[in-house]
Amino acid sequence: MHSRFPLIPDITLSQKDPLLSDLLKKEEARQQSKLSLIPSENHVSQAVLAATGSILTNKYSEGYPGKRYYEGQQIIDQIEQLAINRAKDIFSVEHANVQPYSGSPANLAIYAAFLEPGDTVMGMSLPMGGHLTHGWQVSVTGSWFRSVQYGVNKVTGRIDYDEVRAMAKKERPKLLFCGGTAIPRLIDFAAFADIAKEVDALLAADIAHIAGLIAGGVHPSPTGYAPIISTTTHKTLRGPRGAIVMSTRELSQNLDRAVFPGLQGGPHNHTTAGIAVCLHEASQPEFKLYAQQVVKNAQVLAEELTERGYELISGGTDNHLILIDLTSKGIIGKKAAQALDQAGIVTNYNTIPFDPRKPFSPSGLRIGTPAVTSRGMGEQEMRRLASFIDGAIEAAKRESALDLKSIANEISNLAIQFPAPGTC
Ligand code: DSN
């Protein structure tokens, strides 16, 4: 029997908008036939895709569960509360706000909640492995606030907690950020908490890169050390593009007001639903195995690259991410990343600590294992990948398009054996 109001109209994307549909299929084919080693990317499940691509996108819900500015929230309130409860459970926090549109708005909410323009923020500098929103100069966090930036030790490539402490004592920041985008080692949240306490700063842990590793039990949690924790949901956590900002109960009201109405309007309910699904998936026993495999894979890849003469910042990795200094290989990051893409291996060029080159053409390459691990790859495949990476970089140096093409064929054959979750 046909419903008078069919819930899902019988018009597929390919019929309605063939141009866009074709582009979508091409992107799907690209994701299937190439391997993403970008450490901030992942492949979400069909379940996350279903929630994210749902009719929840139709609803306005400014406000929070139980207190909205639009009617019709009977179901949306339950969805958002489910996501909140799951975030609180998985990260053992007192409060979670699942509405920030992404990582940068989540971090901006922290400033909006607790700082006045001109107050001092201290974070890791972007070229050293931090994030734009930790006070880097081109971000408003570096121009509307007084920003001081720490880095890593030149010899070890690791955060030097004594240096951070000395800088904090001198600069007396009101807000201290830890976490970043190119940190291959464990973050010592207890050490940061001690420093924040000594200088009476508010500590914010940005766990965007490692949230899935924390959920999976392979990276220590900042809970109990950092009263504020922000994360994106689409990296190792393997959810939709979105973010969560978490805090102690005491700080929750200010933080919520900063997200809405301070910075944002209506939450993206379809994303909230996708976040709820990914948090459910991250609470399952198999996600622990995934997180363990992400780290094992990164460590094998790091060892194999080291054996081939690649210089890794800090000498290796404790997590999902590897930062390579290509200087000794005689190739710049951009050229290497472009050649690797031609060879079917998608990476990003990246600054390295104390990089003499400019950010748009830096000396480094950043790679990571969350996405290939989601495809089911293990240590054996990482050994093959290291060899392909080396082959592609050497081919780039010889400017051999033919050799890059031959590697691309091998990568495509490998990729087919490990279909990306969420794609047909
Ligand atoms: N752009 C993200 C990354 O790639 O790490 C950080 O926001």
Residue nearest to atom 3 of ligand 1 (CA): 40
Number of the ligand 1 atom closest to the C-alpha atom of 41: 4
Q: For residue 5, what pLDDT is reported?
A: 55
Number of the ligand 1 atom closest to the C-alpha atom of 348: 4
Q: For residue 242, what pLDDT is reported?
A: 98
Q: 40 alpha carbon to ligand 1 midpoint, in Å? A: 6
Is there a catalytic annotation at residue 60?
yes
SS3 for 177? Answer: strand
Is there a catalytic annotation at residue 241?
yes
Q: For residue 4, what pLDDT is reported?
A: 59
Q: For residue 10, what pLDDT is reported?
A: 56
- d(Cα 219, Cα 207) in Å, to the nearest integer? 10
Q: For residue 1, what pLDDT is reported?
A: 43
- d(Cα 295, Cα 208) in Å, to the nearest integer? 16
Number of the ligand 1 atom closest to the C-alpha atom of 182: 5
Q: Spot the catalytic one: 28, 59, 60, 410.
A: 60
Residues 114 and 101 sit within 8 Å (Cβ to Cβ): no
Q: Could you report the average pLDDT of every consecutive run of 10 residues in the chain (424 residues)?
A: 52 90 95 98 97 97 98 98 99 98 98 98 97 97 98 98 98 98 98 98 99 98 98 98 98 98 98 98 98 99 98 98 98 98 98 96 98 98 98 98 98 97 80
Is there a catalytic annotation at residue 41?
no
Residues with Cβ within 6 A of ligand 1? 40, 103, 131, 181
Bond from prior residue into 261 cis (ω within 30 degrees of 0): yes
Q: For residue 120, what pLDDT is reported?
A: 98
Q: 74 alpha carbon to ligand 1 midpoint, in Å? A: 35
Closest CA to 104 of 216, 230, 12, 225: 230
Q: 111 alpha carbon to ligand 1 midpoint, in Å? A: 19
H helix or E strand, kind and range, residue 19? helix 18-33
Q: Spot the catalytic one: 59, 88, 241, 308.
A: 241
Q: 412 alpha carbon to ligand 1 midpoint, in Å? A: 26
- d(Cα 222, Cα 218) in Å, to the nearest integer? 13
Closest CA to 278 of 239, 309, 331: 239
Name the pTM for this structure: 0.96
Ordered by where they begin, the domains of the chain are 51-282 (3.40.640.10), 293-417 (3.90.1150.10)
Is there a catalytic annotation at residue 349?
no
Looking from the CA of 152 toward its CB, the CA atoms found within 13 Å total 25
Q: 260 alpha carbon to ligand 1 midpoint, in Å? A: 24
Report DSSP state, residue 66: T
Q: What would the two tokens of residue 56 be?
A: 């929840």
Phi, psi (degrees; rounded to nearest 5) at 362: -85, 180
The partner residues of 121 in beta bridges, in order of sequence, read 147, 175
